[in-house]
Amino acid sequence: MGLLACITILSSLSALAQKASLRGIVYDETSQEALEYATVGLYQPRDSSIVTGTVSKADGSFVMENLTVGTYFIQVQFVGYEPTYLPAFTLTANEQRDVGTIVLTATDELLEEISVTGEKASVYHKVDRQVYNAAQFQSATGGSATDVLRNVPSVAVDAAGALTVRGSSGFTILLNGQPIQSDPSLILDQLPANAVEDVEIVTAPSAKYDPEGKAGIINIITRQGVADGLYVLVNGQAGLPSVEDYDNAEPASRYGGDVTVNYRKQSWDISVGASYQRYDIAGRREGDAYTIINDTLTRFPSDGERSFDERNYTARATIGYTPNARNTISAGFYAGKRSKDRTADILYNNYKVARSERDTINQLTYYNENLRIRRGDFLIGSLDYTHTFDNEAKLNTSLLYEYTMLGGPTTNLNLAWPGLQDTLQDQYNTNNNPLQGVRFQADYRLPLKKATLEAGYQFRHLNHTGEFFYEQRVLGTAKYELIPEFSSRVDLARQIHSVYGLYSSQWDKLVYSVGARVEVMDRALQLTNAFVDTTYHYDFVKLYPSANLVYQFSDLFRLKAAYSKRVERTTTFKMNPFPEREHSETFEQGDPELLPEFIDLAEVGVIKDWDSHSVFVTAYFQNVENLVNRVNTVYNDTILNRIYSNVGDAQSLGLEAGVELNPASWWKLYAGGNLYRYTIDGTFDNRPVNTRSWIHSINANTTFKLSPTWSIQWTLNYISDQNTAQGKDSRFLSPNLTAKKTWLGGKVTATAQWLNMDLGLLPTNEQRITTWRAGEFYTTTNYVYEVDVIMLNLSYRINQQMGKSKFIKSEFGEKEF
């Protein structure tokens, strides 16, 4: 009996000692890009029974461990590709076999689409995200990444350029997978559209990612060069004179250019880029407002210029070094300058009426010259290191430092009408806001037999100070006096520690992941002026669970579902309680005790592909606690106070859909839409907030290929009326037409764009914002932005791009800008 036990134990130990492993990488035959989530199966030749399986990672790699010695063959599958088989081979004891690169060939249907269009599909789907090819959206050529996003069905861009995903304005930007906590509209405005390869929308991210972002994550994938050699892309842009100038004092100027250079040789990968863009927008605003104080109604209709002058300068670089297959080091640098000047020269006609007697008490017409200048200087550096262990586990570490200087003055001058000689009021306020931020992150990924285990830690520190000065001129003199109640100093310090764990696996046709993240945050806000010296503290420990799954009924039909817990943090600007004069009729201030928004996201959807067509439909639900809205109160008879406040909870229940069709070899159609029910329930200033409405948006484009080198594309972006805590924002419409011509095998490309098509026939590129409070105030303003803009673009490329550059961007400062 003892001998039998010994033999059994020794046999077991021998079997364990004879375990083998194998690895490989999966690539697309045409693009030579890695394929993520390809299914890799290991089979026994005698009966084709499966032994084990796994899926490829983001870099296309896969690993199988603890394999018994024996003879096997491999089958690799991926949606839209022909299955690939590796001939039978024998694994020996302790062998670590590398099967090398496995190349998958697109199916006939996909190859037909590629040969017909010469382009990628507009959208394709991964386990946890939708991926949109930027090159398909010709109206974005020469513009910014914001212009690319206008075409994505989940995303809506309003007249002011503000982005929302499924109606939510808060979301996190990743640049090539690197987390960036910033205001998307400001980051994306600085990134040239020509540098964008793909846009990935992750609406329900896993616990692996920072939970920042009410609506999820937008991952921007940038262009890079050939696998080994030099890649150069140069773009130039110029705009024709304005068709409609709205009687603005100065003409709008639009021109710019950008260049991307990538050099890859053996172990080195170097990318540099620079851009300059001058993009002015002519426009005007038409407003009407009144306040009620006691028995007096004060009304102040207005009309005049509202234009923007914007300049962006950027320089960026990354250097990557891979000394061997298991180690990679990269460093990134980004520097930028941005300025945005908003001119609002408005004629006001103020008059007071005694409500009981309906008599006009007095009337005053004056001309308000208001200039708001916003500037930002950014300097960011990063260092990343990746190590792959012998068991194919991977450790990634990343360190980022950012210094940003924000600020800019606002001048507010009221002149007597019509002579414009007598000064009625002259005010000046400015601020200087240096910001320093640090982020350190470590991620560990361990491949198991049929699963993957991931864990990580992140530290973030932000210190943001601000000095605000508010002065008013003593009329009849050149002297300005400081207004102490509106002048202040703000000092925000915030630290965040977080850890996460994520388990991913595949069972038959089901791919799934479950995880959780725990975050510890501490926030201290110190406010100081002549009357106040107070520090507000806020901290929490929060759990953020997540779950994602995809069930593949067939190669062409999938079901997906996901849940994610998120947070939308408050900015320093929204917590500063000292009023800032934005323009003649508005003060703007924050709430020092403003709470972050906490969000629950859940979704379920289906994806269907057939021939060269595809369609997806996703139902989703979002619940937001501590909703932050900008609300108004009456400051005095002609000034409203805009305050950022937690007004309650909000819910969105909606349906999102998209379809891509190729009706003919020369015709391609893509359309996406979003329909949801939006409700807000809460209180503000001891009054209930209860609003409900149906909101929808449409993004569509159709492309006609006139010849192998000529094409035209028409796009449409539309947002319906939207409810807010105190009113509504009107619909927004923007149609565009683009013509494209290529030469020299695609190396030279010229485009002509007709943006915001109007011709006086459509209500294009304008939006009315209305708020009210019964018995206190009413305000409505129609913002009219420039229409019928004509842009010309020319680009030249040396070598085809095959990969993705990893430029860094602002982590902290852009959100405050």
What DSSP letter does each residue of 210-221 carry, written as one string? Answer: --B-TT-EEEEE
Q: Which phi-psi region, left, alpha or beta, contains residue 408 (left: φ > 0; alpha: ψ -120 to 50)?
A: left
Task: List, in sequence order, every beta strand (DSSP E) within 294-393.
Answer: 296-299, 302-324, 327-354, 359-388
Instruction: List, as one string, the DSSP characters of 183-243.
Output: -HHHHHHHSBGGGEEEEEEESS--TTS--B-TT-EEEEEEE---SSEEEEEEEEEEEPPPS
Is 689 in contact with 728 (CB distance < 8 Å)?
A: no
Using one digit for the tens of pLDDT, what is the confidence trace for 468-477?
A: 999 999 998 9
Kind and range of the H or E run holding 207: none
- Cα(72)–Cα(212) distance, integer angstroms: 45
How far lies 695's CA from each of 222, 297, 698, in Å?
A: 32, 34, 11
The pLDDT score that the predictor gives to residue 113 is 36
- Cα(732)–Cα(766) distance, integer angstroms: 6
The pLDDT score that the predictor gives to residue 225 is 47
Q: Is the dihedral of CA 220, 224, 227, 233 positive or negative?
A: positive
What's the pTM?
0.77
- Cα(340)–Cα(323) distance, integer angstroms: 44
Q: Three-class SS of residue 6?
A: helix
DSSP single-letter state for residue 246: T
- Cα(265)–Cα(268) distance, integer angstroms: 5
Question: Cβ of 664: how many Cβ atoms within 10 Å?
Answer: 10
Encoded tokens for 55: 């899926």
Encoded tokens for 190: 């600085």
Q: Which residue has the tokens 């009706």?
A: 663
Question: Cβ of 155: how many Cβ atoms within 10 Å?
Answer: 26
Is 764 in contact with 784 (CB distance < 8 Å)?
A: no
Domains in the chain and their CATH numbers? 17-105 (2.60.40.10), 123-816 (2.40.170.20)
- Cα(540)–Cα(422) distance, integer angstroms: 55
The pLDDT score that the predictor gives to residue 581 is 81
Residues 6+ apart with CB under 8 A from 239: 252, 253, 254, 255, 789, 790, 791, 792
Encoded tokens for 425: 């009021």
DSSP single-letter state for residue 122: S
Residue type present at position 280? D
- Cα(22)–Cα(37) distance, integer angstroms: 17
Closest C-alpha to 582, from 492, 526, 643:
643
Q: Which residue has the tokens 């250079």?
A: 261
Is 562 in contact with 201 (CB distance < 8 Å)?
A: no
Phi, psi dihedral angles at 748 (to 5 degrees): -115, 130
Phi, psi dihedral angles at 118 (to 5 degrees): 70, 15
Is 778 in contact with 772 (CB distance < 8 Å)?
A: yes
- Cα(225)–Cα(798) distance, integer angstroms: 9
Is 287 in contact with 253 (CB distance < 8 Å)?
A: no
Q: Which pairing describes strands 178-180 and 172-175: parallel, antiparallel, or unpaired?
A: antiparallel
- Cα(786)–Cα(791) distance, integer angstroms: 13
Residues 6+ apart with CB under 8 A from 686: none
How far lies 454's CA from each of 36, 158, 396, 439, 778, in Å?
A: 17, 38, 11, 20, 53
Encoded tokens for 307: 């234009």
The pLDDT score that the predictor gives to residue 761 is 87
CA atoms within 13 A on the CB side of 558: 24
Using one digit for the tens of pLDDT, what is the confidence trace for 29-87?
A: 766 677 877 788 888 877 667 788 787 877 788 888 888 888 888 988 876 677 888 88
Encoded tokens for 336: 């930028």
The stretches in the chain having pLDDT less than 70 are 1-18, 30-32, 47-48, 79-80, 106-128, 134-147, 150-154, 156-163, 166-171, 175-195, 223-228, 799-817
Closest C-alpha to 620, from 566, 586, 657:
657
